[in-house]
Amino acid sequence: MNIIIQNLKIGDVLIRTKGIFKHFGIFIGLWNGQYIVAENNPKSGVKYITLNQFLSGKPLQGIEYFKGTESERQQIIPYINSIIGRNYDLVNYNCEHFANEVQTGKAHSKQVKIFGLVSGIAITYLLTSKTS
């Protein structure tokens, strides 16, 4: 996917592949000659990194454009600044939770829900197939 950086605005969610999962970050803009993204990372929690660091040589898979008002968009950086360093939690506060929280005010992860559903089905199958 070719991205036109000039079309991105503060608060747009960038999505790239990360193994079989997706990695989410919030586009921040240009600072000191570098494009900046906010992410929630397992090693360091919520932090700012460059766009190149975020992509890590992997292709961009998608963009979710911010749907809020300009006033809401102006609150994104102060909000992220207030949670810098917040710990990553795979199930309760991963990169998708973070991105959704910044965009909508509600932290949620479709990946966690899908994984939980698939795991539940697999466990049920394994338990019922052993008793048959």
User: pLDDT tens-digit profile of 28-53?
Assistant: 999 999 999 999 999 999 999 999 99
Instruction: State the Cα angle at 38 between 88 and 49, rounded to 5°.
Output: 100
SS3 108: coil
Query: Hey, CA dihedral for 6, 12, 17, 18, is it positive or negative?
Result: positive
Residue-level pLDDT at 120: 47
CATH of the domain at 49: 3.90.1720.10
Task: Choose between 114 and 105: higher pLDDT.
Answer: 105
User: pLDDT tens-digit profile of 76-85?
Assistant: 999 999 999 9
Q: Give pTM, 2 decimals.
A: 0.82
Over the chain, what is the mean pLDDT? 87
Of 63, 79, 90, 76, give the one whose Cα is nearest residue 10.
76
Among the ranges given (19-23, 48-52, 67-71, 120-124), the one the predictor scored with the smallest mean pLDDT: 120-124
Q: Token pair 């790239």 is at which residue?
A: 16
Gap between the Cα atoms of 85 and 41, Å rounded:
10
**Domain range for 114:** 5-131
Confidence label for 119 from pLDDT (cuts 50, 70 and 90): very low
Residue-level pLDDT at 122: 47
- In the chain, the number of structural domains is 1
Task: Choose between 116 and 75: higher pLDDT.
Answer: 75
